[in-house]
């Protein structure tokens, strides 16, 4: 620990208060964010806490913070900061993000984070100038990630709009007649030789967790032996992956070769049809859901999907759509790849900065190197 960092009880660094009840039926969309124990995009027409500030999970995601630059409503599943005692609010946000408070819960049935339990935790407190420098450095990475997410969402939405404006032409062809349609499978989980390789292997959770239309890295990877043991194959870049079980119709394009489990329908199409099919499958999500069936969980079978009609358009319209859509999708892909590098860099620097093991200057140098690598990827 740096010599000028002072061990201080958390309760003397920040004051926390339990959030406020707000029933779902009482929530009126408005200008103020609702901060919960998890991610929430909800808003309300009234605020209970002054921003900038944060709330931390009290009932789930214990101690993990959600930030708001503006006034907000902290739900009763959170504790929110009411007084920062002269400290940098954003630095404290990062302290909570880096801390593990799961051992400070109370309650036998439903674990709850008790503010009185954590008030006595000793934290190593830097001078305010250093707090602000650390917070500014980490926030610069967060801001870049947020900017990229806005770019990704905008480009993805533009592709949807472009598709909606094209005059559609019914065809007598099915999906199976214009593209190759595959399923997925899972290597034996009892064989360690099949797992922790370098081949991406997607599950539906990998798709639903995406911040964009492309899937690159997956949470689990398989080996060449694992792939060889599967009844399905490795799919090339630009393949369209659609979840077909439980969550039906979540869609992504493959950034590189990828295998999937059995919860997918995978479409490999000619380059000139890929953007059109991708946009069409997104637009027909509710239709796919209507075709699903099953006793245990709803599933759209590969057989039913293959028989569904392909919707076309004129050759000129298809060319115009491709000319506009492909650059947008590729821009989103570049932003997603950059965010992967930025997020990894941020997550590596966070504990080092919050413990004082590296200086802000050293972290900035590392971030610059990562930024160069991200722009070249």
pLDDT tens for each residue of 123-146:
999 999 999 999 999 999 999 999
What's the pLDDT score for residue 216? Answer: 93
Reported confidence tier of residue 121, pLDDT bands at 50, 70, 90 = very high
Look at the block and give the residue holding tokens 């480009």.
155
What is the mean pLDDT of the segment spanning 325-345?
A: 96
What's the pLDDT score for residue 108? Answer: 52
Contact 21, 44 (CB under 8 A): no
Q: What per-residue string of b and e applies to 98-133 under the rule 16 or more CB within 10 Å gives b?
A: ebebeebbeeeeeebbebeebbeeebebbeeebbbb
What's the pLDDT score for residue 375? Answer: 66
Contact 146, 233 (CB under 8 A): no
What is the mean pLDDT of the segment spanning 306-328?
A: 97
Judged against a pLDDT cut of 80, whether residue 372 lies above it is answered with no
Strands 72-74 and 32-35: parallel
Contact 311, 169 (CB under 8 A): yes
Reported confidence tier of residue 102, pLDDT bands at 50, 70, 90 = confident
Distance CA 188, CA 190 (A): 5
Which tokens hold the place of 146?
């947020």
What is the mean pLDDT of the segment spanning 339-349?
A: 95
Residues contacting 67, CB < 8 A, separation 6+: 52, 53, 54, 90, 93
Contact 302, 222 (CB under 8 A): no
pTM over 0.85? The answer is: yes
CA angle in degrees (0–180, nearest 5) for 157-159-161: 70
Judged against a pLDDT cut of 80, whether residue 187 lies above it is answered with yes
Residues contacting 305, CB < 8 A, separation 6+: 175, 181, 244, 265, 288, 291
Reported confidence tier of residue 114, pLDDT bands at 50, 70, 90 = confident
Distance CA 346, CA 281 (A): 35
Under DSSP, is residue 21 helix (H, G, I), strand (E, B) or coil? coil
What's the pLDDT score for residue 376? Answer: 65
Which tokens hold the place of 239?
């393949």
Contact 60, 38 (CB under 8 A): yes
What's the pLDDT score for residue 311? Answer: 98
Distance CA 340, CA 342 (A): 6
Under DSSP, is residue 71 helix (H, G, I), strand (E, B) or coil? coil
What is the mean pLDDT of the segment spanning 35-55?
A: 92
Alpha helices in 24-127, H assignment, sequence order: 89-98, 115-118
Cα-flanking dihedrals φ and ψ of residue 44, to 5°?
Answer: -145, 160
208-267 pLDDT per residue, tens: 999 999 999 999 999 999 999 999 999 999 999 999 998 999 999 999 999 999 999 999
Contact 44, 34 (CB under 8 A): yes
Q: If you write DSSP's letter for every residue of 312-344 in order, what string do you get? A: E--HHHHHHHHHHHHHHHHHHHHHHHHHHHHHH
Which tokens hold the place of 259?
């295998």
């Amino acid at each position: 620990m740096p010599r000028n960092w002072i061990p201080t009880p958390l309760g003397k660094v920040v004051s926390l208060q339990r959030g406020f009840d707000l029933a779902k039926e009482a929530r009126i969309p408005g200008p103020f964010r609702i901060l919960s124990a998890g991610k929430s995009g909800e808003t309300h027409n009234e605020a209970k806490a002054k921003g900038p500030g944060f709330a931390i999970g009290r009932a789930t995601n214990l101690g993990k913070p959600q930030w708001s630059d503006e006034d907000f409503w902290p739900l009763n599943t959170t504790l929110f900061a009411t007084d920062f005692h002269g400290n940098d609010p954003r630095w404290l946000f990062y302290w909570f993000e880096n801390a593990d408070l799961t051992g400070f819960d109370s309650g036998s049935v439903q674990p709850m984070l008790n503010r009185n339990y954590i008030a006595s935790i000793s934290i190593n407190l830097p001078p305010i100038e250093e707090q602000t420098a650390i917070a500014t450095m980490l926030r610069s990475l967060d801001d870049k990630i947020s900017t990229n997410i806005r770019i990704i969402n905008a480009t993805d939405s533009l592709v949807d709009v472009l598709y909606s404006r094209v005059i559609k032409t019914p065809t007598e062809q099915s999906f199976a007649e214009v593209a190759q349609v595959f399923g997925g499978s899972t290597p034996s989980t009892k064989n360690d030789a099949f797992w922790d390789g370098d081949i991406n292997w997607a599950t539906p959770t990998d798709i639903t967790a995406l911040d964009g239309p492309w899937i690159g890295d997956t949470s689990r990877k398989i080996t060449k032996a694992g792939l060889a043991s599967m009844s399905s194959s490795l799919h090339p870049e630009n393949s369209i992956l659609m979840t077909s079980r439980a969550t039906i119709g979540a869609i992504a394009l493959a950034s590189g070769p990828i295998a999937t489990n059995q919860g997918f329908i995978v479409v490999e199409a000619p380059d000139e049809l890929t953007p059109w099919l991708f946009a069409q499958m997104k637009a027909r999500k509710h239709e796919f859901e209507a075709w699903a069936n099953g006793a245990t969980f709803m599933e759209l079978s590969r057989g039913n999907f293959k028989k569904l009609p392909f919707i076309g358009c004129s050759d000129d319209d298809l060319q115009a759509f491709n000319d506009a859509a492909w650059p947008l999708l590729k821009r989103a892909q570049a932003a997603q790849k950059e965010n992967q590098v930025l997020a990894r860099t941020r997550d590596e620097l966070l504990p080092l900065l919050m413990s004082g093991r590296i200086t802000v200057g050293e972290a900035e140098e590392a971030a610059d190197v990562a930024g160069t690598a991200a722009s070249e990827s």
